[in-house]
Structure 1
Amino acid sequence: MSRWARRAGAVPRLDDACPAFSCPAEPAAPGGTVPGRFPIVYVRGFAGDTSGINNAVKDPFYGFNEGSTHVRVGARNEPAFHQFESPLLRLHLDEGYHVLVEGGQEAYLEAHDEIPRESIWVHRFYDRYASTWGDQPERFRLESAALDLLRLVRSLREKSGAPRVHLVAHSMGGLIARCLLQKILPDLGEDPAEYVDTLFTYGTPHGGITFDVGYGVLEKLRDVTGIKGADVFGPRRMYEYLTSQARRVGDGPPSGWDARRMPEGELSFPTDRVFCLVGTNPADYDVAFGLSSATVGARSDGLVKIENAFVPGAHVAYVHRSHSGRYGLVNSEEGYENLRRFLFGDRRIEVSLVDYSLPAERDVTWQAEVMVSVRGLPIVTHERLAAHWCPVQLDAEETAGGVRTPLASVFLGSDLPRPPGSPAMRYALQLRVLALRARGGFLRFRDHLEQASDFADTLVVDHRPGSGGEEVRADWNSVIRGTIKDHTPENVPLRDEEPRSGEWVAHVRLPETADPLLGFGARLRLAVTPWS
């Protein structure tokens, strides 16, 4: 019996059953591993020139094994220590995944005919471009890294029996994954959704890297000279490696081409299987590749602008973390908890503000701040704040379905750990609405209270799966007596308002205090769909 097969019996099984939804059964996986689990492939980010590549290949797991520590204010204003072990170790401890190495992960794959689905693999694409192995290195090319990724994915599918893999990528690694999905596989006539189940990206520059200084000169200089290989973040190179032959128009990107958008139609990867984690803290990202956060601008993670860090139509979460380093997205509890719930959760909740009507005041911009917390987690999984340069703009136009502004995607798992004695999955969504007044491009502060919101409240949602369907109760914090911890909802469960739509949908009216501002019809729309 192999080393991993002996361990598999001790690994807690994730129950794939969805109590309120019908989940298709999967055939048993080889070696007694858990059906429904797929191998996870990590893809690292940009290392720069040969010296940077040489430094990157020294790490056995390309940095995904690194954790972090930080302090927060505890009781009596004393610092409290918090330790995050690393995403690789946490997936091993929490989900029973294995990191398999015998002189190298590639060597392990070659020596074994079967591997467990619950396994983690690091795509070491930079190794062939390093000079530390003694040979004259090749010049890095992103398309070659994507082809190598395809070979790895094919081997993992064959030896694990899993139909697909999860891709988890940091920074440029997300562009390598998208090159595989948008160019390599379509050019081979292959459906990318047959190879990859989900794509999760940390701080990927889906829209390239641009700067707040230089009036575009720095970008042009980078793209012409290809300094340290950084031209991969410019529009011409991005168009080359993100566009299949069937979709190419001329030699360069056509007018209006948006690198962030993934193509639709035949041989396309669905964007609802993509999750983009966006960093909003440039301060903890000092200098990399000669570029500082001051060059990129405040509205960024220090290297990637917020507006360039997501794919339109994908699930997006914003966290106050920097691009990389000890306070970076990958080495954070925030990043890991979003990843874990996206990969292993069984319910997806889309929360939107609908049917609102704000006062029509000249030169006034209305913004919302949103924070999402999940019971049992020591972090906020999603926060869009004005102080972090990413509030929600309340400028949605009315459509046939009414006014709707998405606020958050929440992933929950009925089998993920919860505090003892807590049968329901509980999450809270904090909502604040603020007015920003300007005239002639300048902010006006008359009759203004800085950081004071025009509306603020928190919706506490208890979600309990049951054999008869979803049982969801929701209360606004303003009407909860006592502490939220001791709150036991006693109101009638929300009813499914669209039972034939394929998703569970309910609306929660905003408190009466919001009526003068957002209108009597303003509600939060909760849409629940199965996720596995």
Structure 2
Amino acid sequence: MDRLPIVYVRGYAGPTAGINEQVDDPFYGFNRGATHVRVGGDGDPAFYQFEGPLLRLMTDEGYQLLVRGDQHRYLRGVEDASVPPASLWVYRFYDQAATTFAAPPHESLPERLLGRLRRRVSAEGFDIESAAAGLYDLIELIRRKTGAPRVFLVAHSMGGLVVRCMMQKVCFHPDADGRPRSSAKELVARFFTYGTPHGGIDLRLDAMDWAQQVFGPAGSDIFAPEKMYGYLEPKAHFGDRPPRSADFDPQRLPEQAFDTDDVFCLVGTNPKDYGLSRVPVGPKSDGLVRIERAYVRGAHRAYVYRSHSGTYGEVNSEEGYQNLRRFLFGRWQVALALAGLPGSVPDEPVWQADTRLTIRGLPIVMTEQSAAHWCPVQLSDEIRRRDGDADVAVPVAGTFLLHRDRLRHAFSLRVFTLNEDDGRIHLTDHLEQVPAWADTLIVDIRPGGAGGEGAGLEAWVAWNSMVAGSPESFDPITDGLPAEARTPAAWRRENGKHVADIALPPTARALAVLGPNATLRVEVRDRRASAG
């Protein structure tokens, strides 16, 4: 895949005092690594050394970091098309709001004390639309100096909203000289977000929600869902509220602005390792952003047990980096869905599924949805949402794979029931942590297979319960099956994708929520062919 310039856009720094602290970091946190991970059933801390995404992109993908004292000034001073496209750039939009790059003013003691107080409650000099316009200008400068057709955008938290303001509003307005701007589709190839509040930040206390919208301390009113309308709609002004007829949804990225297939949202599910904000935000979050508000509708997603930032944060994590790297450079897109499900299910019991996807050779889980992390797949709700259409599959996981001779990934699925009575779990027949069914599908993919409709791709799949021994002992995995079951998976071509329906084991198909026709549908798309 192309090595395009990567531009990093950091998150919210708080009031001026916080901004002054953050601008001391030459790379706005994209260089930050970690030494702690949580392991085991109790999430105990353990040592694991992660170098940080900036360094890993340099060592893994051959990117260059060009600074020369000031990245922006360096770009302005070099010849057009003279900079390597595989380069890393940090958008330092907060610098203009910092007070540390100028001599301190002469102030009396009362003025000094008042200034300190103001710097702790306000963020003078920062405006999200100005930051979005500056990002547009930086991207155009990078494109001109590198000769790259487009860039990759990587954003943490509020940085994702700066990007979306550029995509959805700035790109639709002329520049200061009255010239029309390019569209986001012309500027950006892919857009990755860590913990961005795409649906705003929703607090459990109504009074705090009201204070955020009305007073917006330190510019935090940009996170109020209704106020997002002002900087995400081209014809609106900041502070405008959506009219009742607008049907505004902040998590919707309009098709005319950008293709959601080129967006990936990393969703954190660990609230306990974040700061005090986890109390008003609640447990179904990364400590700051609620799980259901951390993605763009229709975009690719991964759920990782990481907090919004800090020691166990999303940006400075192996989980975040591996999802980032594979989304930007992975040739193969893999999507997993449950197909052939019944058209309806009774109101009781409630069916849920825990899912986990791993890739061979990686020390982390790529994505995990579970009740323990507040985000199981709600099977009953998904089936009802299809309005009786049994042909619609229920997505359960997805990832991207780098080009290798043999690619192995494993998908674990555990199905549970909950019996509720007036909203309370009925425990009479309940067995805690005992699934109605559980198994793991192991998939080996080899590019370059010949013959048949699935030309260009071969795969071998097996449910772990059917393998006679440890999965590590067999390659391909079907070598652990009886001789008559060792054939590659049967692929068909649909809309440019390789598709295979893998029958669930009989014990799974006996469950009412899955049914006798249930399969796990595996779809693989060659992104290089799609781009060509």
Name the TM-score, length of structure 1 as normaliser: 0.86
Q: 1:516 to 1:467 in 2, by over 3 A?
A: closer
Aligned to 2:261: 272
CA contact (8 A) 1:431 1:456 kept: yes
User: Match for 1:280: what amino acid?
Assistant: T
On the 8 A contact 2:201/2:224 being kept in 1, the answer is yes
Alignment match, 1:52: 18
**Which secondary structure does the structure 2 equivalent of 1:134 belong to?**
coil
RMSD over aligned Cα atoms: 2.2
8 Å CA contact retained: 1:69, 1:84: yes
**Matching of residue 263 in structure 1 with residue 263 in structure 2:** no
Task: Tell me if structure 1 keeps the 8 A contact 2:33–2:317.
Answer: yes
> Is residue 372–residue 428 contact of structure 1 (8 Å, CA) maintained in 2?
yes
Gaps of 5+ in 2: 106-122, 175-179, 451-455, 480-485
User: Is 1:494–2:489 an aligned residue pair?
Assistant: yes
Q: Does 1:506 align with 2:500?
A: yes
CA distance in 2, matches of 1:263, 1:358: 30
Asked whether the equivalents of residues 354 and 404 of structure 1 are also in contact (C-alpha less than 8 Å), the reply is yes
User: Residue 471 of structure 1 is aligned with which of 454, 458, 464?
Assistant: 458
C-alpha spacing 1:208/1:359, structure 2 compared with 1 (3 Å) = closer
Q: For the residues of structure 2 that align with 1:79 and 1:228, how far apart are their CA atoms?
A: 34
Does the CA contact (< 8 Å) of 2:502 and 2:521 recur in 1? yes
- Show the counterpart of 2:111: none
Please give the alpha-carbon distance, in whole angstroms, between the structure 2 residues aligned to 1:165 and 1:364. 48
Kept in 1, the 8 Å contact 2:269–2:306? The answer is yes
Residue matched to 1:176: 162
Paired residue secondary structure (2:169): helix
Aligned residues: 479
> What is the deviation of 1:496?
2.2
Matches of 1:47 and 1:138, distance apart in 2: 12
Q: What corresponds to 1:456 in structure 2?
A: 438
2:219 is aligned with what amino acid? Answer: G
Distance 1:234 1:99 in 2: 36
How far off is 1:359 after superposition? 8.8
Q: In structure 2, what is the equivalent of residue 118 of structure 1?
A: 86
**Post-superposition offset of 1:172:** 0.1
Amino acid aligned to 1:230? S
- TM-superposed CA distance for 1:481, in Å, is 1.4
Q: How does 1:169-318 map to 2 (within 5 A)?
A: 169-188=155-174, 189=180, 190-212=182-204, 214=205, 216-245=206-235, 251-255=240-244, 256-264=247-255, 266=256, 268-287=257-276, 292-318=277-303
CA–CA distance in structure 1, aligned partners of residues 387 and 474 of structure 2: 37
Query: Which position in structure 2 is the counterpart of 1:134?
Result: 102
Give the AA of the match of 1:304. V
Distance 1:46 1:448 in 2: 44
Deviations 1:273-329 (A, max 9, x none): 000000000000023xxxx20110000000000010001100010000000012100
Check if 1:433 corresponds to 2:428: no
The residue matched to 1:229 in structure 2 has which SS?
helix
Matches within 5 A, 1:67-82: 67-70=33-36, 81-82=47-48
Letter matched to residue 225 of structure 1: F
Matching residue of 1:6: none
So what's the TM-score if we normalise by structure 2?
0.86
Give the Cα–Cα distance (whole angstroms) in 2 for the partners of residues 482 and 81 of structure 1: 31
Render the CA deviation track for 1:433-453: whole Å, top value 9, x for unaligned.
Answer: 111111111110011101110
Q: 1:197 to 1:79 in 2, by over 3 A?
A: closer
Query: Which residue of structure 1 aligns with residue 526 of structure 2?
Result: 530
User: For the structure 1 residues 101 and 70, does the alpha-carbon distance in structure 2 shift closer, same or farther, using more than 3 Å as the test?
Assistant: same
Query: SS in structure 1 opposite 2:285?
Result: coil
1:106 maps to which of 72, 81, 86: 72
Match of 2:429 among 428, 447, 471: 447
- Counterpart CA distance in 1 for 2:38 and 2:60 is 24
Give the whole-Å Cα distance in 2 for the aligned partners of 1:351 and 1:273.
18
What is the Cα deviation at residue 400 of structure 1? Answer: 5.1
Query: Take 2:224 and 2:193, find their aligned partners in 1: how far apart are those partners?
Result: 19
User: How far apart, in 1, do the equivalents of 2:135 and 2:436 lie?
Assistant: 50
Q: Show CA shifts across 1:205-254 (max 9, x none).
A: 00000112x2x221111111121110010134311111112x89994213
Which secondary structure state, in structure 2, belongs to the residue aligned with residue 461 of structure 1? strand
Correspondence for 2:351 among 363, 366, 387: 366
3-state secondary structure, aligned to 2:510: helix
Alignment-derived partner of residue 177 in structure 2? none
CA separation in 1, counterparts of 2:39 and 2:354? 23
Provide the C-alpha distance between the structure 2 equivalents of 1:67 and 1:478, rounded to a whole number of angstroms.
38
Q: Distance in 1 between matches of 2:219 and 2:329?
A: 36
**Contact in 2 for aligned 1:279/1:322 (Cα 8 Å):** yes
The answer to whether the aligner puts 1:65 opposite 2:50 as a matched pair is no
Letter in 2 for 1:117: P
* Distance (Å, rounded) in 1 between the aligned partners of 2:39 and 2:200: 37
Q: Is the 8 A contact 2:265 2:302 kept in 1?
A: yes
Asked whether the equivalents of residues 68 and 332 of structure 1 are also in contact (C-alpha less than 8 Å), the reply is yes
Alignment counterpart, residue 485 of structure 1, candidates 472, 477, 482: 472
Q: Which residue of 1 aligns with 2:114?
A: none
The SS at the match of 1:392 is: coil
1:513 CA drift (Å):
1.1
Q: Measure the CA separation in 1 of the matches of 2:445 and 2:387.
A: 30
Give the equivalent residue in structure 2 for 1:8.
none
Percent same amino acid at aligned positions? 50
Q: Counterparts of 2:216 and 2:431 in 1: how far apart (Å)?
A: 48
Contact 1:278–1:317 under 8 Å retained in 2:
yes
Question: Aligned equivalents of 1:464 and 1:378: distance in 2?
Answer: 22
Indicate how the Cα distance of structure 1 residues 79 and 323 shifts in structure 2: closer, same or farther if over 3 A, else same: closer
Q: CA shift at 1:363, angstroms?
A: 3.1
Q: 2:146 aligns with which of 140, 160, 175?
A: 160
Letter in 1 for 2:197: P
| Residues 1:143 and 2:138 are matched in the alignment | no
Q: Tell me, in whole angstroms, the C-alpha distance in 2 between the residues paired with 1:205 and 1:360.
A: 33
